[in-house]
Amino acid sequence: MTSKFPAVRILAGVLVLLLMLFGSVTAASAHDAVTGTAPSDGETVDTVPEQVTVTMSNTPATIGSEIQVVDGSGTNWATGPVDVLDQTATQAIKPGAPAGEYTVKWRLVSSDSHPIEGEFTFTATAAGTGQVVGAGPMVSVKPVPEKPLEQVKDESSVPWSVIGLFVVLVGVVIAMVIVARRRLGRDE
């Protein structure tokens, strides 16, 4: 055997290690998560709100997003498209929605372009009194939620596995430079 084979074996081992690290990083950071809803899941509110919101850990895409607000009889009271502003997806509710239990079924496209979905419920003790939207200029006003959204720990920092991967990559580059210099030294 020549001296080239141990270097090739070491390089192959490092490549396998890198593949394992890349696999664990992508699995760990696959999708965004819901950080809060308004109304919150299971909450009882005085009247049917004018809108519901789903807040994500990252900004969801507008295209492909859908939120339904379904009452006990199966009627969907959502109106208009889903409005996405920063990390919050908002769905307006038709005026005059009756009192009762509602199931909010949402489907959003996460920041990594994968669809995610879920649902939550709330109960309204009185019918909605929202105003009918008429013709006129479009104005975007973000109302203050009735109840503050639950705070969730921000896990958007760089994971240690990515830092470890970077260190391994630097080590591989250094090893490749050393091997190349040795080969060039032998060829001279």
* Reported pTM: 0.54
- CA pair distance 66, 78, nearest whole angstrom: 10
- CA pair distance 60, 150, nearest whole angstrom: 19
Q: Would you say residue 35 has pLDDT above 60?
A: yes
- CA pair distance 7, 14, nearest whole angstrom: 11
Average pLDDT value for the chain: 78
Give 39's DSSP letter: S
- CA pair distance 169, 54, nearest whole angstrom: 39
User: Burial, 39: exposed, middle or buried (Cβ in 10 Å; 0-12, 13-18, 19+)?
Assistant: buried
Asked if 89 contacts 67 with a C-beta cutoff of 8 angstroms, the reply is: yes
* Fold assignment, 34-126: Immunoglobulin-like (2.60.40)
Assign 143 a pLDDT band (cuts: 50, 70, 90): low
